[in-house]
């Protein structure tokens, strides 16, 4: 016999048992667990979801509408519809335009894309009116059903500005109002020279130091953008120094001398006070004027001779 062990029939090799894992439900996600904790019904959640979707869609539609200018067109159409219903501009009520050409106000008010009352650009009308020299301020409002109310606040003329061979009416701040002709000169001081118009306020303040001379002031020339020459109705010219304080002091002194000795109307041509401590007098043709006589109430008083060279 062989030394090999006999093999028995029917014998099988042993295998390791396979562990079978039973299938079960998946673990719910964190979002699902959170939703489950909220006391909302499925119907409510569905409605909320639908609302969110519709909101997003509406936002997209609105963006497209804005790109296509739909709101503006819809607004214009609605405004025109209101106008066709009787709410359109048929009357313009203007208050305060005493000197300004009222035709210009009508033209500005009617310059609209639509005359329907809701579509009238009130601020636009006001801004256009403010570009006119006469208009210091303007108020524009709707008066339903068909009236546009415009209130104008006009500037007050303070002087006539002569420059570049033109005469222009200006207010106290030097704002040009309108051109005037030599034949229609108003009874206002004449300021002469470049930028003399913007010095109108300074001239008014200067003359306040000698109010008795205001009625006989004929004009003023702004010299070299630094000082004034005053022209009086009796023909004399007063040369003032530079600087507001020096000019005011010289003018007060001249007014005192004129009040005591009647300098104006005695035929002098020029009083030079550019040196505040002295006054040089340039003689001229002697002629007493009616303006001086009416101002004094009688003929000028006799005074001693004035040194034509210098007077302290």
Confidence band for 4, pLDDT divided at 50, 70 and 90? low
175, part of any domain? yes
How many structural domains comprise the chain? 3
Structural domain that includes position 282? 157-296
CATH of the domain at 148: 3.10.20.310
**Overall average pLDDT of the 109-138 stretch:** 92
Q: Is residue 29 part of a domain?
A: no
Which residue, of 98, 126, 154, is where some domain finishes?
Answer: 154
Cα distance between residue 239 and residue 232, in whole Å: 11
Task: Give the Cα separation of 132 and 112 in Å (integer).
Answer: 18
Q: Hey, what's the torsion of the CAs at 56, 60, 61, 62, to 10 degrees?
A: 100
Identify whether residues 51 and 171 lie together within a single domain.
Answer: no
Residue 6 has pLDDT above 80, yes or no: no
- DSSP notation for 200-266: HHHHHHHHTT-GGGGGGEEEEEEETTTEEEEEETTS-EEEPPSSHHHHHHHHHHHHHHHHHH--TTS
Q: How many angstroms separate the Cα of 143 from the Cα of each of 25, 109, 118, 147, 263? A: 75, 14, 11, 5, 61
Lowest pLDDT segment from 109-123, 133-147, 254-268:
109-123
Give yes or no: residues 226 and 118 share one domain.
no
Q: Is the pTM of this model over 0.75?
A: no
Q: In what order do the strands lie in the sheet with 190-192?
A: 176-179, 166-171, 157-163, 190-192, 217-223, 227-232, 237-239, 268-272, 280-283
pLDDT value, residue 236: 95
In a domain, 272, yes or no: yes
308 domain-assigned: no
**Of 152, 156, 150, which is closest to residue 169 (Cα–Cα)?**
156
Q: Tell me the C-alpha to C-alpha distance, in Å, between residue 225 and each of 74, 87, 195, 199, 270.
A: 58, 55, 7, 9, 20
Mark whether 185 and 238 lie in a shared domain: yes
What are 91-114's pLDDT values in tens digits? 999 999 999 999 999 999 999 888
Angle (CA) 257 258 261, round 5° = 80
What digits encode the pLDDT tens for the residues 205-224? 999 999 999 999 999 999 99
């Amino acid at each position: 016999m062989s030394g090999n062990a006999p093999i028995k029939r029917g014998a099988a090799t042993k295998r390791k048992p396979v562990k079978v894992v039973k299938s079960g439900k998946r673990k719910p996600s964190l979002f699902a667990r959170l939703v489950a904790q909220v006391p909302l019904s499925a119907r409510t959640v569905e409605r909320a979801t639908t609302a969110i979707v519709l909101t997003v869609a509406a936002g997209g539609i609105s963006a497209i509408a804005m790109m296509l200018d739909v709101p503006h067109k819809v607004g214009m159409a609605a405004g025109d519809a209101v106008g066709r219903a009787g709410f359109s501009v048929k009357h313009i009520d203007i208050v305060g335009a005493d000197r300004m050409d009222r035709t210009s106000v009508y033209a500005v008010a009617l310059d609209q894309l639509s005359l329907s009352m809701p579509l009238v650009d009130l601020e636009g009308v006001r801004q256009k009116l403010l570009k006119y020299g006469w208009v210091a301020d303007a108020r524009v409002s709707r008066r339903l059903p068909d009236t546009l109310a415009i209130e104008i606040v006009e500037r007050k003329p303070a002087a006539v500005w002569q420059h570049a061979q033109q005469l222009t009416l200006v207010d106290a701040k030097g704002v040009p109002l309108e051109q005037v002709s030599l034949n229609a000169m108003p009874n206002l001081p004449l300021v002469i020279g470049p930028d003399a118009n913007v010095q109108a306020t300074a001239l008014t303040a200067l003359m306040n130091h000698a109010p008795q001379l205001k009625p006989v002031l004929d004009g003023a020339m702004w010299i070299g953008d630094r000082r004034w020459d005053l022209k009086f109705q009796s023909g004399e010219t007063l040369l003032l120094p530079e600087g507001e304080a020096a000019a005011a002091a010289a003018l007060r002194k001249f007014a005192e001398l004129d009040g005591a000795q009647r300098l104006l109307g005695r035929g002098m041509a020029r009083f030079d006070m550019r040196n505040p401590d002295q006054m040089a007098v340039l003689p001229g043709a002697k002629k007493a004027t009616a303006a001086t006589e009416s101002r004094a109430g009688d003929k000028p008083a006799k005074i001693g001779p004035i040194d034509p060279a210098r007077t302290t």
